[in-house]
Chains A and B, each alone.
Chain A
Amino acid sequence: MKEGDLLKLLKNPTSKNKGFKLLIDLYQEKTYWMIRKMVLSHDSANDVLQDTYIRIFKGIDNFKEESKLSTWIYRIAFNESIRFLNKESKFKKVELDSKDVNYSRKLFADTFFDAENLSLKFHQILSELSFKERNIFNMKYFDELRFEDISKITGININTVKSVYYKVEKKIKKEINESTL
């Protein structure tokens, strides 16, 4: 289904519920993985995902179509994840250029994490990146978002997004066998 058709359903009060179910079917999985890589544990990702979709349902009438619907959804998910992370670490707010010092602790505490050789190596590198670097890399490499969309979701200048991504990609390729990546 095209975004325009979905929006028509969502903006019409009589078809809003039907449209919302379709929206969940279309975007839920991708939104979940984006959130999961930010908050790391499955339980936290589940909570943030639910809050995200409740906000989307409440806010869809105010969606001004200044961006793609998917970009708007991911931006809400991104903001909601930051809100969660800020709430989680009460005394220190998430900062763009700082690392997540609790990365490994959160990862290993999660029962839905399998520590294999490759995943450990990947996470070791990711844990050494700043919040900005990690999220830009994840959004491009794993979520397959376009640079332009990443820029709109995070509010970071598109040229910065590109340069950060290529720098991190080079670093990861260097540390992990290129054929695996």
Chain B
Amino acid sequence: MNQHYKKLGLKIPKDYFIKSREEILDKINIKKKKPSKKNNYSYYFLAMAALFIGAVILYDFPFINENLIEIDSNSPIISTLISGEEITDEYIIEFYSESLVLNEIYFGH
């Protein structure tokens, strides 16, 4: 990418790409290893969900029909139950923005 320097004068620090690679891998590993507190919350939500679903099955609530039990996999709440991450405002914002970055084209004309 020499012409980025030659024509545009853009430089990078020495060994940048080696260091950047390590930083990216570190961030991914840290996220994976992040422990307990989040899991405690997820167990709480999981337990609540299990209680709710159990109650629905047990009491056969008349106001709930089959359509309402369908799980929306695009919901951040369901996503936290599956992933074990803590549900916070930041998580919800991140969830929707990630969905946007991965799936949308900003300027589709």
Contacts and interface: CB of A to CB of B under 8 A. Distances in A.
Interface of A: 20-21, 24-25, 28-30, 32-33, 36-37, 42, 46, 49-50, 53-55, 57-59, 62, 75-76, 78-80, 82-83, 96, 112-116, 118-120, 122-123, 132, 142, 154-157, 160
Interface in B1-47: 1, 3-13, 16-17, 20-21, 23-25, 27-28, 31
B108 interface: yes
A119 B9 contact: yes
Interface of B: 1, 3-13, 16-17, 20-21, 23-25, 27-28, 31, 97-98, 100-102, 104-109
B20 A80 contact: no
Indicate the member of A30, A49, A79 with the most B CB atoms within 10 Å. A79
Given A33-B1, A36-B4, A59-B102, A28 B9 contact: no
A79 B17 CA distance: 21
Contacts of A80: 101
Given A76-B101, A156-B107, A37 B12 contact: no
Contacts of A115: 9
